[in-house]
């Protein structure tokens, strides 16, 4: 064919090899940058976690001092006990963050009264609902399950807090517990803004693409549902949702009563 110049096979292989080598160098540089970024983020996380220990420890100490007063009783005592429990849960989370190697698949489980845990989670967030003139309705059963109490607390408070965030003023939030001999199902149902179809496949992702606009200026951070999914999976359970426009959203979590 006129004008065609054959390139020797050796030259073509050399050029291809050079391209591959350059791509490999680019990939190594990218991986190195990612490792540095991850190391820096981990260092920042350790610093923040370490610095949070002192103020939270002080809150526990102050709660204990106030609780020692015999005049503290009734609702005030109950609220202080909730503050103390929340601080202890936060300290457990900080201790976990400071461990050099974390594995959510190896949970420290204990027998926990799920109805008591649910009531506690609703109570500590009730003031947020009251700020938006919302009513929270809790339905439970007396069931004990083998779970990580602190991690399940994180899941439940995150889901209830989300229901409050994404529900307009004056609406209702239902927290419903159902149980069989083998499984517990917890439903957090709101009358909120629902999840648009464009985000339904993103809400459990680690990135922030699945964030929705909230109803009263709150700030969503976009990772709570990803963390919740990881925790529920570590309990051999599952988490899912149903959402209808102009009706609301219901999140479901299901996990075994025992391993």
Q: Please report, for the domain that includes residue 190, its CATH number.
A: 3.30.565.10
Domain membership flag for residue 1:
no
Domain membership flag for residue 3:
no
Rounded Cα distance between 178 and 155, Å, is 17
Q: Which residues of 227-249 are buried (b: 16+ CB within 10 A; e: fewer)?
A: bbbbbbebbebebebebeeeebb
Query: How many C-beta atoms surround the C-beta of residue 194 within 10 A?
Result: 19
Q: Does residue 99 sit in helix, strand or coil?
A: coil
Q: Domain ends where: 67, 98, 129?
A: 98
Instruction: For the chain, give the percent of residues with pLDDT over 90.
Output: 29
Q: 250 with 132, same domain? A: yes
- Tell me, what's the pLDDT at 59? 81
Q: Domain ends where: 72, 98, 124?
A: 98
From the number of C-beta atoms within 10 Å of its C-beta (0-12, 13-18, 19+), residue 12 rates as exposed
Q: What is the number of alpha carbons within 13 Å of residue 135 lying toward its C-beta?
A: 4
Q: Does residue 172 sit in helix, strand or coil?
A: strand
Q: 235 with 135, same domain? A: yes
Query: How many C-beta atoms surround the C-beta of residue 153 within 10 A?
Result: 23
Q: Which residue segment(s) compose the domain that 146 sits in? A: 110-256
Given a cut of 90, whether residue 4 has pLDDT beyond it is no
165-187 pLDDT tens trace: 899 999 999 999 999 889 999 99
Q: 116 with 225, same domain? A: yes
Q: 171 with 46, same domain? A: no
Its pTM stands at: 0.67
From the number of C-beta atoms within 10 Å of its C-beta (0-12, 13-18, 19+), residue 67 rates as middle
- What is the DSSP secondary structure assignment for residue 243, as one 8-state letter? E
15-37 pLDDT tens trace: 666 666 665 666 666 655 555 56
Q: 84 with 126, same domain? A: no
Given a cut of 90, whether residue 39 has pLDDT beyond it is no
Q: What is the number of alpha carbons within 13 Å of residue 147 lying toward its C-beta?
A: 27
Q: 126 with 230, same domain? A: yes
Q: Domain ends where: 66, 98, 130?
A: 98
Domain membership flag for residue 152:
yes
> Structural domain tally of the chain?
2
The DSSP annotation for 127-139 comes to: HHHHHTT-EEEEE
Please give the order of strands across the beta sheet that includes 238-244: 135-139, 172-179, 183-190, 248-256, 238-244
Q: 125 with 94, same domain? A: no
Listed in sequence order, the residues at least 6 apart from 15 whose beta carbon sits closer than 8 Å to its beta carbon are none
- What is the DSSP secondary structure assignment for residue 197, as one 8-state letter? G
Q: 244 with 156, same domain? A: yes
Q: 134 with 181, same domain? A: yes
Domain membership flag for residue 4:
no
186-213 pLDDT tens trace: 999 999 888 888 788 888 876 554 455 5
**219 and 161 in contact (C-beta within 8 Å)?**
no
Given a cut of 80, whether residue 223 has pLDDT beyond it is no
Q: 92 with 122, same domain? A: no
């Amino acid at each position: 064919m006129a004008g065609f110049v054959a390139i020797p096979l050796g030259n073509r292989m050399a050029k291809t090899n050079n391209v591959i080598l350059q791509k490999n160098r680019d990939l190594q540089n990218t991986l190195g940058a990612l490792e540095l970024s991850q190391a820096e983020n981990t260092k920042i996380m350790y610093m923040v976690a370490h610095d949070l220990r002192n103020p939270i420890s002080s809150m526990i100490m102050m709660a204990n001092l106030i609780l020692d007063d015999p005049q503290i009783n009734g609702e005030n005592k109950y609220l202080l006990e909730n503050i103390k429990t929340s601080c202890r849960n936060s300290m457990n989370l900080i201790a976990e963050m400071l461990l050099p190697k974390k594995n959510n698949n190896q949970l420290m489980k204990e027998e926990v009264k799920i109805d008591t845990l649910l009531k506690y989670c609703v109570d500590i967030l009730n003031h947020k609902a009251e700020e938006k003139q919302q009513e929270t309705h809790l339905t439970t059963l007396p069931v004990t399950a083998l779970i990580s109490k602190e991690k399940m607390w994180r899941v439940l408070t995150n889901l209830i807090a989300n229901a409050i965030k994404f529900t307009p003023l004056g609406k209702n939030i239902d927290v419903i517990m159902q149980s069989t001999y083998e499984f517990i199902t917890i439903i957090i149902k709101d009358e909120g803004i629902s999840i648009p179809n464009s985000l339904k496949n993103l809400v459990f992702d680690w990135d922030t693409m699945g964030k929705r606009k909230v109803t009263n200026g709150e700030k969503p951070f976009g990772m709570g549902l990803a963390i919740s999914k990881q925790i529920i999976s570590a309990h051999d359970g599952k988490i899912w949702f149903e959402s209808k426009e102009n009706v609301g959203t219901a999140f479901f979590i299901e996990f075994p009563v025992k391993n």
